Structure 1
Amino acid sequence: MRRIVAEDLDWSLATVSSLSNLSLQCIVNNFEERPIYEELTSSEKDFIQNRVSLSLPLHFAANVFPDGVYWKRCCITEPKTVLDMVTLCKDHIKKLNIAQLLPPIKEPQTEDEEQASELTLANEDDKSGMDHFDFRILLDKLTNLEELHLVYKVKSCGMNFEWSMFEMTNRDCESLAKALKSCKTLKLFRLHLSHLEDKKCRLLVKYLLDHPSLRTLDFSHNVIGDSGARAIGKLLTKSKLEILNLYDNNIGGPGAKAIAHALSKNTTLVSLNLCLNRLKDEGGQAICKALLNNKTLLHLQLGANGVTWLTALSLSSMLAQNNTLKSINLSCNALGEVGGNALEEAMSHNTSVTECNIHLTDIEERRVSVINQMVWNNQFRKQETNPREKNTENAN
Structure 2
Amino acid sequence: MPNVIGNPDKGVFTPGRPPQIPEPVMRLNPASDPRKMRRIIAEDPEWSLAIIPLLKDLCLQHIVKNFENNPILNELLPSHKAKVLEKLSTKLPLKVTANLISHEGYWNRCCTERWGVCDVACYGNSWKRMFFERHLEKIIELFIPEVTDIKTVLDVVPLCKNYVKKLNISQLLPPVKEPQMNEDDNASDTASDPGHEGPSIDHFDFWTLLDKLTHLEELHLVYGVSGCGMNFEWNLFEFTSRDCQSLAKALKSCKTLKVFRIHQSKVDDEKVRLLINSLLDHPFLTVLDLSHNLIGDRGARAIGKLINERKMKSITVYDNKIRAHGAQAIAYALTKNITLTSLNLRLNQIGDEGGQAIAHALLKNATLTNIHMGSNELTEPTATVLSQVLVQNKTLRNINLSCNRLGLDGGKQIQEGMSYNTTVVEFDVRLTEIGQESEYSISQILQNNQEKARKKLITESGVKK
- For Structure 1 versus Structure 2, the TM-score category normalised by the shorter chain is 0.7 to 0.9
Indicate the structure with greater helix content.
1
Q: Measure the CA separation in 2 of the matches of 1:108 and 1:207.
A: 37
Q: Measure the CA separation in 1 of the matches of 2:410 and 2:257.
A: 41
Residues 106 and 130 of structure 1 are in contact (CA less than 8 Å); yes or no, is this contact kept in structure 2?
no
* Cα separation, partners in 2 of 1:138 and 1:364, compared to 1, 3 Å: same
Residues 83 and 138 of structure 1 are in contact (CA less than 8 Å); yes or no, is this contact kept in structure 2?
yes
Residues 215 and 256 of structure 2 are in contact (CA less than 8 Å); yes or no, is this contact kept in structure 1?
yes
* Cα separation, partners in 2 of 1:235 and 1:93, compared to 1, 3 Å: same
Residues 383 and 389 of structure 1 are in contact (CA less than 8 Å); yes or no, is this contact kept in structure 2?
no
- 1:238 alignment partner in structure 2: 309
- 2:280 alignment partner in structure 1: 209
- Superposed displacement of residue 34, structure 1: 8.3
* Cα separation, partners in 2 of 1:364 and 1:141, compared to 1, 3 Å: same
User: Residue type of the partner of 1:190?
Assistant: R
Per the alignment, in what secondary structure is the counterpart of residue 257 of structure 1?
A: helix
User: Residue type of the partner of 2:439?
Assistant: V
- 1:352 alignment partner in structure 2: 423
Q: 1:180-191 residue pairs with structure 2 within 5 A? A: 180-191=251-262
User: Residue type of the partner of 1:186?
Assistant: L
- Superposed displacement of residue 164, structure 1: 2.2
**Aligned-residue CA RMSD in angstroms?**
2.9
Structure 2, unaligned runs of 5 or more: 1-63, 68-82, 116-130, 143-147, 183-196
Q: Measure the CA separation in 1 of the matches of 2:299 and 2:312.
A: 17
Detail structure 1 runs of 4+ shifted over 6 Å in the superposition: 34-40, 388-391
- 1:179 alignment partner in structure 2: 250
Residues 245 and 273 of structure 1 are in contact (CA less than 8 Å); yes or no, is this contact kept in structure 2?
yes
Counterpart selection for 2:154 from 73, 83, 95: 83
* Cα separation, partners in 2 of 1:349 and 1:141, compared to 1, 3 Å: same
CA offsets, 1:100-130, max 9 Å, x none? Answer: 000111245799xxxxxxxxxxxxxx99452
Q: Measure the CA separation in 1 of the matches of 2:181 and 2:402.
A: 55
Per the alignment, in what secondary structure is the counterpart of residue 209 of structure 2?
A: helix
- Superposed displacement of residue 327, structure 1: 0.8
2:448 is the alignment partner of 1:377: yes
- Superposed displacement of residue 382, structure 1: 1.2
Residues 368 and 396 of structure 2 are in contact (CA less than 8 Å); yes or no, is this contact kept in structure 1?
yes
2:92 is the alignment partner of 1:60: no
Structure 1, unaligned runs of 5 or more: 1-31, 41-47, 112-125, 392-396
User: Residue type of the partner of 1:227?
Assistant: R
Q: 1:292-307 residue pairs with structure 2 within 5 A? A: 292-307=363-378
- Superposed displacement of residue 60, structure 1: 3.0
- 1:324 alignment partner in structure 2: 395
Q: 1:117-196 residue pairs with structure 2 within 5 A? A: 128=199, 130-158=201-229, 160-196=231-267
* Cα separation, partners in 2 of 1:341 and 1:131, compared to 1, 3 Å: same
User: Residue type of the partner of 1:33?
Assistant: K
Per the alignment, in what secondary structure is the counterpart of residue 260 of structure 2?
A: strand
* Cα separation, partners in 2 of 1:359 and 1:130, compared to 1, 3 Å: same
CA offsets, 1:317-354, max 9 Å, x none? Answer: 12211111111000010111111100111011111111
Q: Measure the CA separation in 2 of the matches of 1:291 and 1:129.
A: 43
* Cα separation, partners in 2 of 1:255 and 1:73, compared to 1, 3 Å: closer
Residues 383 and 390 of structure 1 are in contact (CA less than 8 Å); yes or no, is this contact kept in structure 2?
no
- Superposed displacement of residue 284, structure 1: 0.4
CA offsets, 1:292-341, max 9 Å, x none? Answer: 11000000100010100110001011221111111100001011111110
2:65 is the alignment partner of 1:33: yes
Per the alignment, in what secondary structure is the counterpart of residue 336 of structure 2?
A: coil
Per the normalisation by structure 2, the TM-score is 0.67
- Superposed displacement of residue 83, structure 1: 1.6
| Percent identical residues | 53
Per the alignment, in what secondary structure is the counterpart of residue 320 of structure 1?
A: helix
Q: Measure the CA separation in 2 of the matches of 1:365 and 1:383.
A: 27
Q: Measure the CA separation in 2 of the matches of 1:87 and 1:165.
A: 31
CA offsets, 1:264-293, max 9 Å, x none? Answer: 111110000001110110110000001111
Per the alignment, in what secondary structure is the counterpart of residue 144 of structure 1?
A: coil
Residues 199 and 235 of structure 2 are in contact (CA less than 8 Å); yes or no, is this contact kept in structure 1?
no
